[in-house]
Amino acid sequence: MKSFVEIKKPAAIAVAVIMIIASILVSGGSSLRSQRKEVENMFFNGVSNDGYSIQSDLDAKIEVANNLVTVAKRYYNSSDTMLLELIEARQELDGAVEVGEKRNASRKLDDAANSLIERMESDSTISMSDKDKKYCMSFKAELKSRNLTIENDRYNDYASRFNSTISTMPASIISTLTGVKKLELY
């Protein structure tokens, strides 16, 4: 007959193994979530947490669109198709939550703004003031500048690095079991 200690030994080993696995999952998942949040914050607050971020550039592009709408309304009525497209694109960017949504909405805003600016610059039926011509040139330059800044932002580098981390062992198992997802690239 087996002694009490002999019967309990396999159960104790099983409980210890389960506790170790649970501890690894909890601490590993917590660490991955923390790393993910840190990189995600870089999109909104900048890589150095200084406010120089993709989100701040997107906010500036929204402001450019607001100003362009103001200038365009001096020459076109509020129901103008191109004007409405820009307003819609601006609202879409302002309301976008996910990185991919923001990226797509930003491109839509660029297309709408640049199309409207080109139309205003070439439309012989309107007589733009010199001041408004300069505004349009500055709007175009500001959009281009913001896009270059976004292209050079290091958020994507950090997001790619994080995504690579959770694609390797053992982080891939931990991330799958704890629900930590890859970051979207801008």
pLDDT of 1 higher than 80: no
**Axis-axis angle for helices 81-95, 54-72 (nearest 10):** 160
**Axis-axis angle for helices 54-72, 4-45 (nearest 10):** 40
pTM above 0.85, yes or no: yes
- Distance spanning both ends of the chain, measured CA to CA: 67
Mean pLDDT in residue range 71-91: 98
Q: What is the pLDDT of residues 18-53, one digit of tens each?
A: 988 888 888 999 999 999 999 999 999 999 999 999
Tokens of 53: 């971020």
Note the Cα 85 to chain centre separation in Å. 22
pLDDT of 16: 83
| Percentage of the chain exceeding pLDDT 90 | 85
